[in-house]
Amino acid sequence: MLKIGLTGGIGCGKSTAVQRFRELGVPVIEADLIAREVVAIGQPALQEIAGLFGSPSLQADGALNRAWLRQTVFSDPVCLQQLESILHPRIRAEILTKIAACSDSAYVIVDVPLLFEKGYTQLFDRILVIDCLPDQQKLRVRQRDGSDDSVIMSIMQSQIEREARLQQAHDIISNTASITDFYEKIDDLNIKYIKLSEA
């Protein structure tokens, strides 16, 4: 079974690609969903976070106070590092468990937004990057989230540079034209991955 890591900059169309792979019957694992699961109420990671950051890190119902935590860690690199040391080993272990459960499939897609930034490359046989032009990224995120340009730019700057991302990819799907064109490229890649897995 081939293990494909899927990534791309914000607004490039990763979610649309994931949806299409699912329609083709491909198992998809989403790192963002796992990241939410590991900090659910009752999970050891949540207790560790509360122990480290204190009561402001929890809401009244005992759930993670995401807004407070996001503000705290993004303004303090040390806090961010501490948070990531709690989260990433657990996320990685859960990804591996979920990959193992897909062993009957020709290949599995693992959607990891910060694949390069957080050192997930060695988990995969191939890296697939969904790409578009920076101006398209900004426009799409603005339309999707209503974010202003300064927020979008700060997110883009926190991600690996586009050129570096493209250089490390085995496969690149350019999402610069129509949705039909985008789907056709994904469908072609699906056939390629099935053939590779058989080889």
Please indicate if the annotation marks 12 as binding a ligand.
yes
Return mean pLDDT, the chain.
Answer: 94
Question: Which residue in this structure is represented by tokens 């046989």?
Answer: 125
- 140 and 188 inside one domain: yes
- 22 and 72 inside one domain: no
- 78 and 142 inside one domain: no
Q: What is the percent of the chain where pLDDT is above 90?
A: 80
Q: What is the pTM of this model?
A: 0.89
- 64 and 97 inside one domain: yes
* Residue range 185-199: mean pLDDT, rounded: 97
Number of domains the chain contains: 2
Q: Which of 60, 79, 101 is the last residue in one of the domains?
A: 101
Tell me which of 20-24, 134-138, 145-149 is least confident: 145-149
Q: Is residue 197 pLDDT above 90, yes or no?
A: yes
Please indicate if the annotation marks 16 as binding a ligand.
yes
Q: How confident is the model at residue 190 (pLDDT cuts 50, 70, 90)?
A: very high
Two tokens at 16? 């649309």
- 157 and 182 inside one domain: yes
* Residue range 52-81: mean pLDDT, rounded: 91
CATH number, position 133 = 3.40.50.300
Q: Is residue 151 pLDDT above 80, yes or no?
A: no
At residue 35's C-alpha, the angle toward residues 42 and 149, to 5°, is 130
Q: Which of 69, 101, 133 is the last residue in one of the domains?
A: 101
Q: Residue 199 sits in which domain range?
A: 1-27+106-199
Q: Is residue 94 pLDDT above 90, yes or no?
A: yes
Q: Is residue 26 pLDDT above 90, yes or no?
A: yes
Please indicate if the annotation marks 9 as binding a ligand.
no
Q: How confident is the model at residue 73 (pLDDT cuts 50, 70, 90)?
A: confident
Q: What is the percent of the chain where pLDDT is above 70?
A: 100
Q: Is residue 155 pLDDT above 90, yes or no?
A: no
- 158 and 97 inside one domain: no
- 97 and 111 inside one domain: no
Please indicate if the annotation marks 11 as binding a ligand.
yes
Q: Which of 74, 101, 128 is the last residue in one of the domains?
A: 101
Looking at residue 72, its pLDDT comes to: 87
